[in-house]
Amino acid sequence: MELAVVGAGYVGLVTSVCLSEIGHHVTCIELDKSKVDKLKKGISPIYEPGLTELMMKNVNLGRLSFTTNYLEGFKNKDVIYIAVGTPENEDGSANLSYVDDVAKIIAKNVKRDAIVVTKSTVPVGTNNRIQTIINNHKPSYISIEVVSNPEFLREGSAIYDSFHGDRIVIGANSEKAAKLIEEINKPFNIPIYITGIRSAEMIKYASNAFLATKISFINEIANICERVDADVEQVAYGMGLDHRIGSHFLNAGIGYGGSCFPKDTKALIQIAGNVAYDFELLQGVVNVNKKQQRILLDKLYDRFGNLKGKKIALLGLAFKPNTDDMREAPSISISSELVKAGAIVYAYDPIAIDNAKQILDSSIHFVYNIEQAIGGADAALILTEWDEIKNMDFNLINTMKYPLLIDGRNCIKLKDIKPYQIEYHSIGRSSVK
């Protein structure tokens, strides 16, 4: 089928590449010319395992192309995906100005009947709003129907998830539109669930909010485990054996970050607030996450009292491994607090260093390997569980001023660290001294 995708950000690019991989002809429209120039040369603006290879393969097969021109992008297309950003407004609500603009542009430029599919995460009711904007701006002889098709991809494994996801949700007002989008997605071989538009919009927010809730829940359990001498890993495993609970998203740590959970939880609280409903549980999840991002600092203060002049190494800066995404990464608040406290901060990340430099305090020493980060340090904090950091040579810890390792991701096994002369603390597990 002939498809257009508006937006070459994370969602738009992955959507374009994967839809072309299953055989569709996709034109990805992006206004940022420098981005399009790079994409045409096979350079991806984001780090996502497997993306560049799949992108180049489909460009070479003639199934995927990029343009800055809407008219060229919409030409002969049956379906247009909206995959532009919905950043957070100051009050936590989603900013829909990009989505609204694209809706107008589609209405004014499309020359034939089309389906518009919303991939962007948008508050309940937004697809109706898009439909209204389109109806108000399109010529009367053209019919355009809006369908909701939220994405459930994780950064760092988005390509894998595209082909191995648990479900594809399609929210539509008409059976005809739903069937067309179902047909497009069939080659993914993933169960398809067709719903009403508002339910599809809600499924996206409710899913992210529920996963965030699991994380905040296990983080609180971890904090209690530390105080009652239990081990959160054993607790999470034991809980997860119950299928009603499930074992996923029960890894305790320094809280969730990224472009989705922090934004979507706050947006859902807003959505509820707009209909005079106080989503108390989710507000608790957000509060707990904020508190949890501080947990390593509390451990450092407990240990040192004062951080002035202490050299602290940060290992991993991205909000999770296998991505260069720094958005809402716990490293942002942790490093800023350390700098404020007068600590000398050395920071290392295998991939996100360039992005980190643009966001984090300029007094931070950005280094290019673990050795440089921890040499002479008073303490090292693991903030992201990159393989390279999990599997680091513990003998390197001897180069520290004091061998203190605080693992914010519980990514090191206690039995592996025990043979070394290292003081090791983690989240909700016993310490090694």
Catalytic residues: 260
Q: For residues 3 and 73, is the Cβ–Cβ distance under 8 A?
A: no
Q: Is 86 marked within a binding site?
A: yes
Two tokens, residue 161: 């998830």
> Which amino acid is located at 355 in the chain?
N
Number of residues that bind ligand UGA (CB under 6 A): 20
Two tokens, residue 318: 């991205």
Residues 316-355, one symbol each (x = binds ligand UGA by CB under 6 A, - = not), give: ---xx-----------------------------------
Nearest approach, Cβ of residue 309 and ligand UGA (Å): 30
Number of C-beta neighbours around residue 89 at 10 A: 14
Nearest to residue 380, comparing CAs of 358, 412, 414? 412
Nearest approach, Cβ of residue 204 and ligand UGA (Å): 7
Taking the C-alpha atoms of residue 300 and residue 415, their distance in angstroms, rounded to an integer, is: 23
Q: For residues 366 and 353, is the Cβ–Cβ distance under 8 A?
A: yes
Q: Which of 193, 217, 249, 394 binds ligand UGA (CB under 6 A)?
A: 249
DSSP 166: S
Nearer of residues 145 and 155 to ligand UGA, judged by Cβ: 155
Strand partners, 3: 26, 79
Q: Which of residues 260-289 bind ligand UGA (CB under 6 A)?
A: 260-261
The one segment of 63-71, 134-142, 150-158, 341-349 that binds ligand UGA by CB under 6 A: 150-158
Q: Is 35 marked within a binding site?
A: yes
Q: Which of 7, 9, 253, 403 binds ligand UGA (CB under 6 A)?
A: 253
Q: Does 250 bind ligand UGA (CB under 6 A)?
A: yes
Q: Which of residues 175-234 bind ligand UGA (CB under 6 A)?
A: 208, 211, 215
Q: Does 155 bind ligand UGA (CB under 6 A)?
A: yes
Residues in the chain: 433
The one segment of 27-35, 177-185, 253-261, 375-383 that binds ligand UGA by CB under 6 A: 253-261
Q: Does 24 bind ligand UGA (CB under 6 A)?
A: no
Q: Which residues contact residue 254 at a Cβ distance below 8 angstroms, ignoring those fewer than 6 apart?
A: 292, 293, 295, 296, 330, 334, 383, 408, 409, 427
Q: Which of 154, 291, 303, 357 binds ligand UGA (CB under 6 A)?
A: 154
Number of C-beta neighbours around residue 250 at 10 A: 21
Order of all β-strands in the sheet with 365-366: 365-366, 344-348, 311-315, 379-382, 404-407, 423-425
Q: Cα torsion at 57, 63, 66, 70 (round to 10°)?
A: -170
Residues 372-411, one symbol each (x = binds ligand UGA by CB under 6 A, - = not), give: ----------------------------------------
Q: Is 320 marked within a binding site?
A: yes
Q: Does 70 bind ligand UGA (CB under 6 A)?
A: no
The one segment of 33-41, 250-258, 269-277, 421-429 that binds ligand UGA by CB under 6 A: 250-258
Q: Which residues bind ligand UGA (CB under 6 A)?
A: 121, 151-155, 208, 211, 215, 249-251, 253, 256-258, 260-261, 319-320
